[in-house]
Amino acid sequence: MSWRIAIEHSTTHRYAQEVSHSYNEARLVPRTLPGQVCLEALVNVEPRCQLSRHADYWGSVVDSFDIHKPHSFLRVRSSATVETSPITLVESEMSWADVAAPDVTERFAELLAPTVFVPALPGPAEEVRATEPSGPAAAARAAVDWVRDQLRYEIGATDVTTPADSALSRGKGVCQDFAHLALGLLRSLGIPGRYVSGYLHPKEDGEVGETVEGRGHAWIEWWCGTWTAWDPTHGQPVGHRHVLVGRGRDYADVPPLKGIYQGAPSIAHEVTVAITRKA
């Protein structure tokens, strides 16, 4: 079943006093790729300024903009319409030796290395591999199951600066923590894995024309001969309710909005996401 999904995303920063300069990047435009077509996308900024669009190293669409006049707030709004369709999962026959081959480890070196958000987890990796010796594809499924056994979903338990090992010690987190922890385990198993940022329509049976409150979402993709997209928070394959915006090593590669500015501190931060199934 294909869906047509409209997404309205607004982020507002308010400052204690006027700031004089800011330099920013927004990653808010959905990608066009197998299973997903971005039909239209617009990004608007207040105060008004010139935007420059490019694709970054990982292929994400980036809108860059600078503001060089005093401003007391920054508001970035995006609107996009995307058509999604299910992708059939293709199970890999690769062995552990295949995944560990030099051409694979060199090709995916960046997606096998730990990061600030994605630490190495050698102990849990040994445990998972011992329970699934048949091959890396089965071990990858076991890895995301292990993560769901360790974490309880709880909004506010962590924030965007929390590394996976901290979320693991707390035993709770949100979607980005599930994704980071799963990636740490996969990479420790020697399975390349990448972080995915986007949106998820919250209703499996979403009605056409109904607008619902949404939020950004994160999931993962692992490589065992082919890429498999999986949502570790919900323990299921990625499907037509998911809208992909960016990919990278971890959250730091795909934040919806980042920048620097000169002036007074931010005193308020508001994010709203509205998602409507159009067809």
User: 245 and 107: one domain?
Assistant: yes
Q: Is residue 91 part of a domain?
A: no
User: 37 and 170: one domain?
Assistant: no
CA distance 118 to 205: 34
Can you list the alpha helix ranges (DSSP code H) found in the chain? 96-99, 102-107, 122-131, 136-150, 164-170, 175-188
User: Which structural domain, as residue segments, surrounds residue 152?
Assistant: 96-253
User: 68 and 134: one domain?
Assistant: no
Give the pTM: 0.96
User: 213 and 192: one domain?
Assistant: yes
At 252 the pLDDT is 98
User: 143 and 219: one domain?
Assistant: yes
Q: Is residue 68 part of a domain?
A: yes
The one-digit pLDDT tens for each residue of the chain (279 residues) are 899 999 999 999 999 999 999 999 999 999 999 999 999 999 999 999 999 999 999 999 999 999 999 999 999 999 999 999 988 877 777 999 999 999 999 999 999 999 999 999 999 999 999 987 789 999 999 999 999 999 999 999 999 999 999 999 999 999 999 999 999 999 999 999 999 999 999 999 999 999 999 989 999 999 999 999 999 999 999 999 999 999 999 999 999 999 999 999 999 999 999 999 999
At 92 the pLDDT is 75
Q: Which of 207, 204, 179, 212 is nearest to 194 (CA)?
A: 179
User: 50 and 138: one domain?
Assistant: no
The number of folded domains in the chain is: 2
